[in-house]
Structure 1
């Protein structure tokens, strides 16, 4: 079973190399990419089942035992995140393949997603995400971030258009800055403790002088906060994501910020429990409010979704700030929910752009009648994002709010109560933003001539526009453009792969609702492991270099003195 750990990282990496070699054979590239991610998903599912049943899985690369070598660790949190992320990457890949095929059928080219570049880069991105979840030391986590960020630079500027290059520049600068901060934190950690292994750090960090420990924690949280788009370090995101191709935007929105959230959860529970809780709580509330206030005034669907992405990072940070097992469990569940829902919405936005030619609300209308399947595929995750009962967004928010209000009394309850109120307001404003998009894009008729760009400037005494001839021509062109869009929408046949991939992500999001009991129970068990740091420490430090004892923790419900499959004598 220990071979599952490196396979989860190696499979997409090998796939990237092979697809690069097969760059002149698009069909082979597509088959290899899908096969690599499908195999990775199978590995991740098996790993989750095994880890949940038998405990953390550990592998020391190269035979160097902890804390000297590179360690891969899969506990319940890592395995759960790996499963969800691989589902998303596989669905987005199928979506992009279908989109690329359809583009090629229309004009013989595919300028949006060049196959020879897209497939290997996308698989490298999947490699970085997987390695980040399984990294057992800070430096390997840093390398993982660099792998996925390097791939994201290419994907974000795919096609080389001026708009994408301009939008990608701030993203690259901010990412490099956050990486520099992270690397400085890793250097400071090693200087203070002599190790970067997370399990070893958990045993040594308390011996570090309080001032240095607080500085290290602040540096790492700042680096991860930039990557997770936590306010006030989130301004880069809404300007960067909307310009990328739809599949790229979807995987970015679903995964990249969540890797930053995962890193915050990991270091905050393992290395710095109880530190900066007030700062994290205030940052969570500010992220919720600022993000959603930006969302409700956006003229386009992609930018609106980008701002809601920022806003709902606040809920996850709030769960970490609560610091209890219930709060962390709710945060884990909400991370999984948001990965799926946000990906589905951006895939839906890509379908809207394909049908109507734009995602600007002023140019949209009549989509409910023109594309009813698309209307359903957008409506379900939209209501889920807004937290409408009984969807998983509602369940996650209720879990967060209950965790915040239990166990604190008097003055200690004031700040959590304020954040709960902000979270409730954010949920209502999210619903308002979603309803606004739904009403304009799906319910109202197609905009008539002149509605997109109403005339401005003084009128002459007869009430005519001063530029009569030009304005009449503008109205005629606008009318004709509206007719063409409506005709295209009515006749549109969305590629089956794009619709199928979006449907799959929406369905898995619904599984979080239908199967909320067992999935939330998994999140609670993962949180229990995180809050008991010794579970992680023993699993890593007690595993020999050859990995023979890869499963160390006793199965749930058994005490150490009871016999197990691994310990027939019951010695523990």
Structure 2
């Protein structure tokens, strides 16, 4: 089964070339992309079973002698990440096909979207399988190239500006990564992780610490750990919904995965535990405070994404098997939940015309299915029992309590506070966007004067269209209602305008939008998958615990790479 290991990387790369060549045949291109990702998911499932039963699956490629070539390793952790990422990217691609964004929406041609998306998938898979630091660097560069193209689809000023910030930050991290590689190779003579595990222990403490700090800073930028997370809330919300979904679900987790692999394999007795614990605490608190302050749902979810990275860092920082198991489980949970929420938010924006809280209302009454699809993962994100978010947080809190240090207990308190504030943020979103009526939304706009901005500037909530384009309008699931329509309805009826008349008015509007089944299906599938994580939480957590045992033992990984023996 070792021959299967390169396929999750090879298939998307070949698929990218084929879809680029088939740019004039969009129907074939769509099905080819979906087939490739379906194949990657199937292969990842087989690798997961094989790694669990027979130990890490290793293959050396590049026609070089072993220990000099490129090694790919699929152990329990890598195989699990591969499977989850494959299922998520498959759902996102199906969603984008249903949305029609691959057919020249916002100027994004089909021939660009599919190849770029498949290169992104290949980069993610290569990062999870990489058995040496230079191949991991190549993976990040693949992600940078593909993500920049996807982030700037349509070429709008807002997206170009956000993409520029994103690229500059990632170029900085790439430069730092290259410096880290140079220092590591100069000190040890190798970049293969299995060899580094032994050679780093032979180095003087100050040299080993310098290498660890360089690598940790590089990966912390990728993972958006505070204070290196400033770029994320301004970059992700500007992209199209499926692009934002896959970015939020996967890209930061690649950075977290790299930190987890580095800390357990290369620096198992790290002296930086306290530093990581402080980073976890600040990431949680600063991130969720930013989320609470937002009046736009996209930015709110982007800040919650940052805050919940703190939970993942907590488990890594504890340096224990239970902490690693909790982080592994929470990564699976968070990939699924964040992707599902951003896909559902894309449906909200399509139907309501905006994601600014002050401009939308009535979604629960006019789009009940959409309301349910948002409510379930939102409660899961907040950690409401019996969802997987609650199970993952309990596992992490138990690991922190077992650690016993005062700082670990502070993380328990910080994590509980973050959960409560997450619940507040998503509950506020639900109450405003879904539960309040469109009439209340209009009256709220009038109360703050947002409908009468004389300068035509963007109103609060990061709605980038000038106010003069929609002055006096309220976005609802049934359409866009103008102030003139409301006043006319009141004049013909009574001054109070009964709520039923208001809903009759918006439901009859010509600007009504509906959610295509091609978008609803993948979003609903991911929401269902998030619920299933709770159903299979017992077996899944047990698997994560076995993966954590392998990471802390290091024996299975090292034997598989250095001797070619499955454990």
Q: Normalization by structure 2: what TM-score?
A: 0.89
Partner of 1:287 in structure 2? 283
The 5 Å alignment of 1:70-469 reads 70-100=70-100, 109-111=104-106, 113-275=108-270, 276-408=272-404, 413-447=405-439, 449=442, 451-454=444-447
How much does 1:456 deviate?
A: 5.3
CA distance in 2, matches of 1:131, 1:283: 27
Structure 2 stretches lacking a partner, 5+ long: 451-466, 474-480, 487-501
CA contact (8 A) 1:52 1:76 kept: yes
CA contact (8 A) 1:446 1:486 kept: no
CA distance in 1, matches of 2:96, 2:323: 36
CA distance in 2, matches of 1:538, 1:480: 74
The 5 Å alignment of 1:399-548 reads 399-408=395-404, 413-447=405-439, 449=442, 451-454=444-447, 475=472, 478-480=482-484, 487=508, 492-543=513-564
Which has the higher mean CA deviation after the structures are superposed, 11-20 or 473-482? 473-482
How much does 1:14 deviate?
A: 0.7
How much does 1:542 deviate?
A: 0.2
Partner of 1:68 in structure 2? 68
Residues 443-475 of structure 1, C-alpha deviation per residue, up to 9 Å, x if partnerless? 000145453254659xxxxxxxxxxxx99x955
SS at match of 2:72: strand
Which has the higher mean CA deviation after the structures are superposed, 316-325 or 267-276? 267-276
CA distance in 1, matches of 2:542, 2:431: 37
Residues 512-563 of structure 1, C-alpha deviation per residue, up to 9 Å, x if partnerless? 10000100011000000000112211110001xxxxx5xx10xxxxxxxxxx
Residues 366-397 of structure 1, C-alpha deviation per residue, up to 9 Å, x if partnerless? 10111111111111100000000000000000
Using a 3 Å threshold, how does the CA distance of structure 1 residues 438 and 69 change in structure 2: closer, same or farther?
A: same
How much does 1:294 deviate?
A: 0.1
CA contact (8 A) 2:263 2:316 kept: yes
Which has the higher mean CA deviation after the structures are superposed, 133-142 or 6-15? 6-15
CA distance in 1, matches of 2:303, 2:149: 23
Partner of 1:565 in structure 2? none
Partner of 2:463 in structure 1? none
CA contact (8 A) 1:404 1:420 kept: yes
Residues 307-330 of structure 1, C-alpha deviation per residue, up to 9 Å, x if partnerless? 000000000000000110000000
Using a 3 Å threshold, how does the CA distance of structure 1 residues 535 and 299 change in structure 2: closer, same or farther?
A: same
CA contact (8 A) 2:92 2:522 kept: yes
Which has the higher mean CA deviation after the structures are superposed, 506-515 or 383-392? 506-515
How much does 1:201 deviate?
A: 0.4
Higher relative contact order (CA 8 A, sep 6+): 1
Using a 3 Å threshold, how does the CA distance of structure 1 residues 474 and 6 change in structure 2: closer, same or farther?
A: closer
CA contact (8 A) 2:124 2:143 kept: yes
Structure 1 stretches lacking a partner, 5+ long: 458-469, 544-548, 554-572
Residues 108-138 of structure 1, C-alpha deviation per residue, up to 9 Å, x if partnerless? x522642111100000000000000000000
RMSD (CA atoms) = 2.1
Residues 9-42 of structure 1, C-alpha deviation per residue, up to 9 Å, x if partnerless? 1111111000000111111110110011001111
Count of aligned pairs between the two proteins: 525
CA distance in 1, matches of 2:250, 2:217: 19
CA distance in 2, matches of 1:360, 1:160: 22
Partner of 1:41 in structure 2? 41
Q: Normalization by structure 1: what TM-score?
A: 0.89
CA contact (8 A) 2:318 2:403 kept: no
SS at match of 1:72: strand
CA distance in 1, matches of 2:160, 2:198: 45
Partner of 1:21 in structure 2? 21
CA contact (8 A) 1:20 1:116 kept: yes
